[in-house]
Structure 1
Amino acid sequence: MTAPAAGLALIRLLQLASPTLPVGAYTYSQGLEWAVETGVIRDEASAGRWIGDLLAHGIGRYEAPLVAALIAAWNAGDGPEITRLNAEFLASRESAELRAETAQMGFSLARLVRDLRDPALTEVARVLAGLPELAFPTGWAGIAAAWQIDPEAAVGAYLWSWAENQVMAALKAVPLGQASGQRLLASLGAGIPATAAAALALPESRWSNFTPAFAIACTRHETQYSRLFRS
């Protein structure tokens, strides 16, 4: 890849990982709000433990390697594999809110693909339109592949975007100050390159999203009386 092309890929990656991406990610906490309600998360340290553990043992060991596999499938033009991985992710959602979240964000991302009017995304738009229900990682990986973003950089940015959204939720729900948020992001970010590299090398037989506390938090949030977030 030439220097100008590599530079453009970086800019496109920043766009794809930006919190301004109009998919509604900021409206979800993925159970973090329930953890705050019950006192499991109550300050900067406990927020860091919750988000960091989930990043290392859940998102990093299932969602991240799945995104890497999806990017490979998109690059290979392997429609059946894209469809299979999309269905796998939808089936992995352990609560109604989590499934609704990825489907809503996937729907919004598919609409964005059309609205961008980028010829490089024409095939992505066609494939996404053929899926009966779209998981967010499937569309995100398709855009990353079409924009020729390095897979390891893409997975790292995906993890960063997830961590940033979790920290933003903690800032609102605990609440925490801006300096606390930046300390959390600095700490979480330091581990993301290694997590991304491990995700690319992790065979599917070793993927795991066994995070019982996360699943319980997401399920309990569905009946939480007072809440800011949709999950």
Structure 2
Amino acid sequence: MNLQLVRLLHLASPALPVGAFSYSQGLEWAVESGAVTSEAAAQRWIRDALHLALARCEAPALIGLLRAWKAGNACEVARLNAEFIATRETSELRAETLQMGYSLARLLRDLPDTPEATKTALLELREIAFPTPWATAAAHWQIEELDAANAYLWAWLENQVMAAVKLVPLGQTAGQRMLVALAEDLPALALEAVRRADTEDWENFTPGMTLASSQHETQYTRLFRS
């Protein structure tokens, strides 16, 4: 169990070389437009995205992919991977998941303990969404579904809070306050993600986040890639 925890921390680490730190998922435009100008506003924005996008779409997709990898069902992996890519509403959000997915898949192919069958399955996917290789690693390292969902949500949350700290800007203590407050939501959201995965009840209706991402594509000055 201790090794599984270490592997999970590895997957959720900001040091994972996939470039997650370079994306704001529309938060940069929200700051530029004046919609997010304070710690409270940043916390509301991130909480909304966490509840309405991550817990209802991305995390359920992750759990579905985790189950498919554990079952050795490459066809189901390919189907869920394609469906998730189709949920990315803007060019930046699509490019983000594909770049991070490619980077993580390449890393897993280079690691000595990744099974050859997994390497082959990853190579057969022409485009790879980020949750797909993440779920691959979680399956190989025998991570439980709830633990995987909590860690995936935490990794996303940490990146978003750090983006807010740079953009608003906020102090490091403000960022830690947001992490403490928003982390309390994660256990219930992880449970929701597992429940939605049971019935493939995915939702990705986040027009505000989509609009922000669309506007960010033509934003004049940018620190982040989305």
Q: TM-score, normalization: structure 1?
A: 0.95
Q: Which residue of 2 aligns with 1:145?
A: 139
Shift of 1:125: 1.7
Q: Could you tell me which amino acid in structure 1 is paired with residue 72 of structure 2?
A: G
- Give the corresponding residue for 1:3: none
Matched residue, 2:152 = 158
Equivalent residue number for residue 19 of structure 2: 24
2:215 is matched with 220
Tell me how far 1:205 sits from its aligned partner: 4.9
Identity of aligned residues (%): 57
The answer to whether the 8 A contact 2:26-2:209 is kept is yes
3-state SS in 2 of match to 1:196: helix
1:104 maps to amino acid: Q
In the TM superposition, what are the counterparts of 1:146-225 in structure 2 within 5 Å?
146-202=140-196, 203-225=198-220
**Of residues 39, 52, 56 in structure 2, which corresponds to 1:44?**
39
Amino acid at match of 1:94: E
The answer to whether the 8 Å contact 1:113/1:121 transfers is no
Dislocated runs of 4+, deviation >4 Å: none
State the superposition RMSD in angstroms. Answer: 1.0
Question: Counterpart of 1:81?
Answer: 76
1:133 aligned counterpart, secondary structure: coil
CA distance in structure 1 between the partners assigned to 2:38 and 2:116 by the alignment: 45
Deviation, structure 1 residue 115:
2.2
Deviation at 1:192, TM superposition (A): 0.2
Deviations 1:44-93 (A, max 9, x none): 10000000011111111111111011101111111111000100111111
Q: Which runs of 5+ in 1 are unaligned?
A: 1-5
Count residues with an aligned counterpart.
225
Q: Which residue of 2 aligns with 1:105?
A: 100
Shift of 1:114: 1.9
- How does the TM-score come out when normalised to structure 2? 0.97
Structure 1 residues 73 and 127, CA gap change in structure 2 (3 angstroms): same
Q: Identify the residue that residue 87 of structure 2 maps to in structure 1.
A: 92
Aligned AA for 2:223?
L
Query: Does residue 128 of structure 2 align to residue 134 of structure 1?
Result: yes
AA aligned to 2:119 is A
5+ unaligned residues in a row in structure 2: which ranges?
none
| In the alignment, structure 1 residue 124 sits paired with structure 2 residue 118 | yes
CA distance in 1, matches of 2:166, 2:220: 17
